[in-house]
Amino acid sequence: MAFSDNLQFIRAQAGVTQEQLAEQLEVSRQSVSKWESGTSFPEMDTLLRICDLYDVDLDLLLRGNVEESRVSDTARYDAHMNRFSLRLALSISAIIAGISLMLLLSAYDPSDLMQMMSAALFMLIVAVSTVVIVASGIQHENFRKQHPVIADFYTQEEKDAFHQRFVWYIAGGVGAILFGVVLLIGVFAFLPEKEPYESIAAAVFMLLIAGAVFSFVYGGMQEDKYKVWKYNRDNNPDPEAKKRLDLIGASCGAVMLTATAIYVGLGFTRNAWGTAWWVFAVGGILCGVVSVVLNPYKGED
């Protein structure tokens, strides 16, 4: 396999255009086109940059067959993505389940002391979940740096089999939410709308929401796992896309820090430890809005 064929293959695997590759290498698009057509050859320093960008050996790039060398999961991408998606889904749903636990404790004992203790427990759950999310994100970032390009080793049969399961992840989450709504309606139809019934019903509803969120997040991240082209594209963004992605990360971080500050402030000033949890839900919604508005790949996914 000639260098020109290897270059076309790794560029296609990364999901980048000739223009984007030219920007990464600081050359003209015409130069990349000539390399891929075999009419010219890059200089040695450019070859080394290609090797660094696409995690390929120089000898393999020049004289080997890159496509054949990437038919298996040598980077253990599948195992890494399974751990990453499970940790994030559990951490996010644990925060929502923490709200459920806080409501149950408040219903069991509505005293101010129990309100403070339940709020402290909730903040502990948030802290632990945040640590797991941050640590998992750092590990994922390190994996991306070590493996900037992954070959699509999944077979079409494996992808089709997961798509069948993915339907149930989404349907199961929607079903859990609808069941929670029906449960709330049933509780308030047969039980008086007063404590502790309201708090218990709300706690059960939030627990169902936690399960639905786990199903959505885990299923969605597993769906993305099979889109290796998306991993390669996101791992090698053009300068404009990188700016937007960095802005999304910074904005969401600022939103959630603000939500935490508001929650603590309302807790100390108005003793609203058991009721001010809604600020985290609002923060999550705002992060979603920011991600949609600033998404540099609208329509491509």
**Quick one: pLDDT at residue 88?**
93
**Residue 241 token pair:** 């896309």
pLDDT tens digit sequence for 116-172: 888 888 889 989 998 999 999 999 989 988 888 787 788 788 888 999 999 999 999
**Quick one: pLDDT at residue 193?**
65
Other C-beta atoms closer than 10 Å to the C-beta of 27 total 16
Listed as ranges, residues in the chain with pLDDT below 50 are none
**Quick one: pLDDT at residue 45?**
87
**Quick one: pLDDT at residue 82?**
94
**Quick one: pLDDT at residue 17?**
87
For tokens 């002391």, name the residue. 113
**Quick one: pLDDT at residue 67?**
72
**Quick one: pLDDT at residue 279?**
82
Sign of CA dihedral 35, 296, 300, 211: positive
- Give yes or no for a contact between 123 and 68, defined as CB atoms under 8 angstroms apart: no
Q: Could you give the CA distance from residue 266 to residue 123 in angstroms, rounded to a whole number?
A: 14
**Quick one: pLDDT at residue 140?**
92
**Quick one: pLDDT at residue 301?**
57
CA distance from start to end of the chain: 31
Q: What angle do CA 55, 219, 154 make, to 5 degrees?
A: 40
Q: Could you give the CA distance from residue 290 to residue 301 in angstroms, rounded to a whole number?
A: 17
**Quick one: pLDDT at residue 167?**
93
CA 96 to chain centre: 17
Helices (H), 147-227: 156-190, 197-225
Backbone angles phi, psi at 234, to 5 degrees: -70, -25
Reported as type and span, the H/E element at residue 102 is helix 77-108
What is the Cα Rg of the chain in Å? 25
Task: List the domain boundaries for the chain.
Answer: 3-69, 77-236
Architecture per CATH, 3-69: Orthogonal Bundle (1.10)
Taking each helix axis from N to C end, the angle separating 197-225 and 156-190, rounded to the nearest 10 degrees, works out to 170
Instruction: Report CA-CA distances (Å) from 4 to 38, 63, 84, 225.
Output: 6, 10, 35, 29
